[in-house]
Amino acid sequence: MSVDGPSGADAPPTPEDSGRHAAVGESAAVGESAAVGESDGVAVPSAAGHPTERKARRQRSAPTIYDVAQAAGVAPSTVSRTFSRPGRVNSETADRIRKVAAELGYRTNPMARALSTTHTNLLALVVPDITNPVYFEIINGVQDEAGEAGYTVLLVDSRESDRRERESLDRALPIVEGIVLGTSRMSDASIRMIAKQKPMVALNRAVREIPSVVPDNARGVRRALEHLGELGHDPVTYLAGPEASWADGMRWRGLREASLELAVHVRRLGPLAPTVAGGVAGAKAWIQAPTTGVIAYNDLVAIGFIRYVTTHGYRVPEDVSVVGYDNIFAADLVTPPLTTVATPRRALGAAAVRNLIAQIKGAHPRGGPPVVVPVKLVERQSTGPAPHQRAVTANQTGSVLPRR
């Protein structure tokens, strides 16, 4: 927004200014800000401050609602209603106004309109790490569903920091109509406090009194452990995720329960960063007491683990079988292709937005049990029979076992 006033080149020169400009004129080339008369030392406005130039600047500025109103021969209020409440303007008049606006290059300002209507059609999506491929499909699902409903998504990357997450939300709250928290690292109390200010849905996190959408973590890790158990792996190592991760806690809890039911021992290494580097750190700890089966918190951790152990003399799956979680696009590209638990991430994001928009439109928030989305195990080449199982099979068939 520009404000007319005696500033810059438009301000009248003071006696001190005149003397200063005269001195400049005597010793150096004249700049754009002023030209100096050699005979009397009086500062003369430059072309930038000339009335003609000021008029040209105004002509180059963005057209306003008043420009459209004048060109269309209507009141400014009619132009405003055409774009904000089209049903209240005669269709023929509205068409004429829109045509004039297009010719002038006029664009509505949604933020300015929001100041008076409190509707910005903006939703905030918070993710802990935008570089983590697991969030790509979630973001797509959120954006697709929001776009179809006429909303735009403001993406917030908290970088695995609860403090940064809270600070970013504090800045976003005044301009968004609702929030999708994707795998939040904040405490339950902090989440509930924010939910009192704006409609919210928690994704990949169950929070009491907050509508939530989560994958079936217990089912996912049980299928992973069943798969390794059927291949003869016992015990199995779980490479844990971040300490503040709700999903990590649920997966470890599910593994312990499945361990008792399936009679397969499990142990936990971590917490680890949910990254390839976190997988490398987990591999270094695993090597101190290796097991033939490994379940990773996510696919990135699994990939980091495989990368490290294969450079230290271990073969996958001949010596150690590895299962990831999430089925990111890279799971099928690594060597060997990764067995993993697939989560419908796009569906998770879309379900969260549908729930959120329903709240924005007046539906009562559903704060009971979370909406649980099913998962499935995708078997690839990173898992195989445990070494002792292969030995039994080899002895029975008379084949020769490969050497490590």
- CATH number assigned to the domain comprising residue 85: 1.10.260.40
DSSP 8-class letter at 47: G
Of the chain, the end-to-end C-alpha distance in Å amounts to: 72
The answer to whether position 230 is within a domain reads yes
**Mean per-residue pLDDT, 21-33:** 36
Is residue 379 within 8 A of residue 339, CB to CB? The reply is yes
Pair (134, 69) in one structural domain: no
State the total domains in the chain.
Answer: 3
Question: pLDDT value at position 37?
Answer: 37
CA dihedral 160, 166, 167, 169 (to 10 degrees): 110
Whether 110 and 133 share a structural domain: no
Does 129 lie in the same domain as 169?
yes
Position 319 in a domain: yes
Q: How many residues does the chain have?
A: 404
* pLDDT band (50, 70, 90) for residue 114: low
Return mean pLDDT, the chain. Answer: 82
Six-digit token pair at 244? Answer: 């503040």
In terms of domains, do 184 and 237 share one?
no
Please report which helix (H) or strand (E) contains residue 215, including its range: strand 212-215
Contact 239, 306 (CB under 8 A): no
CATH code of 180's domain: 3.40.50.2300
Residues facing residue 325 across a β-bridge? 341
Range of the domain at 178: 125-214
Instruction: Dig out the tokens for 234 from the structure.
Output: 């016992």
Rounded Cα gap, residues 105 and 99, in angstroms: 10
Residue 318 or 63, more confident: 318
pLDDT in tens, 340-382: 999 999 999 999 999 999 999 988 877 678 989 999 999 999 9
Residue 373 forms beta bridges with which residues?
A: 215
Cβ count within 10 A of residue 60: 7
The confidence score (pLDDT) of residue 369 equals 87
Q: Give the other-Cβ count within 10 Å of 65's Cβ.
A: 19
Q: Same domain for 106 and 87?
A: yes
pLDDT for residue 244: 84
Residue 103 lies in a domain: yes
